């Protein structure tokens, strides 16, 4: 019995395919600005079921990525390692926290001409769950995620 919903050669094909060919299957890139209150992101996650958004700067270039799990950072203030005495909670008022404070800066991006196995390789190297796919000018096109892979290969869907 196979765990996969795809046959062996089909999996090979997925791994070898170029990301630009599967762009339509990926999450469309939700772009947000870094000064946006985190509350709005929470609402979007709830209403649209997305699990990550691309944070763009003034010129539309990628400056960060924010995922659902980053929301948990609201419970913790990330003080620099050398200043740490104990964990410090963030401001109790969620509406005052902006995306900038919880996002990952300078995220990993991958050109759309790369192959799926390149993305998987990067995910394992950097232990990340999302990769921003960009065109040759650096504009974000989609987010490639573990969630997509789980669905594609095992048929596992997150609710």
State the minimum distance, in angstroms, from the CB of residue 72 to another protein. 15
Nearer to another protein, 32 or 122 (CB): 122
Q: Decide if residue 33 touches another protein (CB under 8 A).
A: no
Query: CA-to-CA distance for 69 and 49, rounded, in angstroms?
Result: 13
Is 66 within 8 Å of 102 (Cβ atoms)? yes
Minimal distance in Å, beta carbon 68 to another protein? 17
118-139: b or e for each residue (b if 16 or more CB lie within 10 Å)?
A: bbbebbeeeebbbbbbbeeeee
Q: Which of 30, 71, 74, 104 binds another protein (CB under 8 A)?
A: 104
Q: What are the percentages of helix, strand and coil residues in the chain, rounded to 5?
A: 40, 25, 35
35 near another protein, rule: CB under 8 A: no
H/E run at residue 44: helix 38-48
Sites for another protein among residues 105-134 (CB under 8 A): 105-109, 121-122, 125-128
Report 68-97 residues binding another protein (CB under 8 A): 77, 79-86, 88-89, 91-92, 96
159 binds another protein (CB under 8 A): no
Query: Does 31 engage in binding with another protein (CB under 8 A)?
Result: no
| 46: phi then psi, degrees, rounded to nearest 5 | -65, -50
Nearest to 77 by CA among 101, 93, 99: 101
Using CB under 8 A as the criterion, which residues of the chain lie in contact with another protein when the complex forms? 77, 79-86, 88-89, 91-92, 96, 104-109, 121-122, 125-128
């Amino acid at each position: 019995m196979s765990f996969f919903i795809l046959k062996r050669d089909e999996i090979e094909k997925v791994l070898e395919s170029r990301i630009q060919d599967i762009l339509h299957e990926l999450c469309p890139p939700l772009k947000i600005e870094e000064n946006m209150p985190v509350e709005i992101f929470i609402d979007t996650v709830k209403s649209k079921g997305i699990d990550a958004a691309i944070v763009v700067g003034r010129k539309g270039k990628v400056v960060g990525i924010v995922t659902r799990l980053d929301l948990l950072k609201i419970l913790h203030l990330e003080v620099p390692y050398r200043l740490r005495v104990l964990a410090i909670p963030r401001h109790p008022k969620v509406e005052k926290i902006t995306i900038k404070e919880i996002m990952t800066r300078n995220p990993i991006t991958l050109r759309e001409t790369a192959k799926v196995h390149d993305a998987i390789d990067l995910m394992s190297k950097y232990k990340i769950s999302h990769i921003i796919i960009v065109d040759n000018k650096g504009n974000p096109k989609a987010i490639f995620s573990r969630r997509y892979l789980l669905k594609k290969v095992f048929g596992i869907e997150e609710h």
